[in-house]
Amino acid sequence: MEPQLTPLTPRGPWLSPIVAGAWRMAEWGWDAQQRLRWIEQCIELGVTSFDHADIYGGYGVQALFGEALALAPGLRQRMQIVGKCGIQLVAPVRAENRIKHYDTSAGHIMRSVDESLRALRTDHLDLLLIHRPDPLLDADEVAGAFATLQDAGKVRHFGASNFTPVQFELLNSRVALVTNQVEWHPLQRAVLTDGTLDQCQRLRVRPMIWSPLAGGAMLHSQDAAAVRVRSVLQSLGQRRGVSLGSIAFAWLLRHPSRPLPVAGTRRIEALREAVDALDVRLDAQEWTEVLQAAMGHEVA
C-alpha cells in the first residue's frame, strides 16, 4: 500500500495516520531478520511511522530496531521515527540511577538523543517527545536543548507526552510543539473532559494516542465496563462489516482533534484492523453508544 502521510500540524511533520509502537519489541523474542520483516510489513500496510522511547525494553528496544534496520538501511528513507526521553529508570545500564525519576535537563536530553541515534542507526529523529511532565522542567532550558538539536539536524520536530493542558501550554510558549501523546480509549476518558483534546483543536495540534485498546483490556478483560464496551464494539462491527478492533480504532479517529493512534502490536493482522478503521466513520449516535457503555449510563 502506498503510504498516505498526514500532518500533525499545518506546518508538519507528516506521519502515517496509524503509528506502529515498538515498545514491546524486546519481549517478542525475534531475531533481526524477523524484526526486519515486521518493519517491512508495517510499511507495506502504509504504517510508516514508528514510535520509540529511550527506556523501552530496559533501554534495549532502539538497538533491536536499529539492528534490524541495518539489514535494509534504505528503509529509513521510507519511515518516520518518533523518539521520547525524560524518564530515568533504575536499570543495569544506568548504574548511576538510585531511583526512578524524571530528567529534562539539557544535558540529559542531548545525551539521550545521541544514544538513540546510535542505537537506531540513523542520523536524525523525525520527532522527539518529552516522555512525561517533569516537576523540575525548566521550559527555557528544554527549549534551548531543542533548538541546539534542531540546528544540528538531529531532531526535526518536538512534542510532549502525557502533559496536562497547562504543562503543554508552558513548554509550547517557548518552542512550537507538534503533538501531545496521551492515553485514551473508552476505559480511560480523562482527555475528553480535562481540556487536553480541546487544546489540541484550539492549537491545531493533533494528539497521538497510546494504548488505544487499553493494553488489550478492551478485548479480553472481564471487568464490567470492558464487557459492556466489547459488546457494543462487536455489534457495531457486525453492522459495519469490520472487526471489533477496527471499530475501537474508528471510535478514536472520529474525534475532531484528528488523533493518530499508536498500535503497539507485533501482529500484522491487528495493525491491518487499525488501518481498516481509517475507512470507517461512526456517526454521533454510534460513537455515543460506545461512550455510554463505558460510563455505564446515558450521557447527561
Cell numbers describing residue 125: 529523529
Catalytic residue among 56, 59, 168, 249: 56
Location of C-alpha cell 512525561: 132
* C-alpha triplet 45, 290, 218: angle, nearest 5°: 60
**Backbone φ and ψ of 33, nearest 5°:** -65, -40
Find the largest Cα–Cα distance for the chain: 55
**Backbone φ and ψ of 290, nearest 5°:** -70, -45
Residues facing residue 15 across a β-bridge? 6
Inter-helix orientation angle 165-172/139-151, to 10°:
60
* C-alpha triplet 188, 192, 197: angle, nearest 5°: 120
Q: Are 278 and 253 in contact (CB under 8 A)?
A: yes
Distance of CA 132 to the CA centre of its chain: 13
Q: Are 50 and 80 in contact (CB under 8 A)?
A: yes
Nearest to 18 by CA among 274, 282, 276: 274
Q: Are 279 and 38 in contact (CB under 8 A)?
A: no
Specify whether 56 is catalytic. yes
Nearest to 228 by CA among 239, 217, 238: 217
Nearest to 259 by CA among 37, 2, 6: 6
Catalytic residues: 56
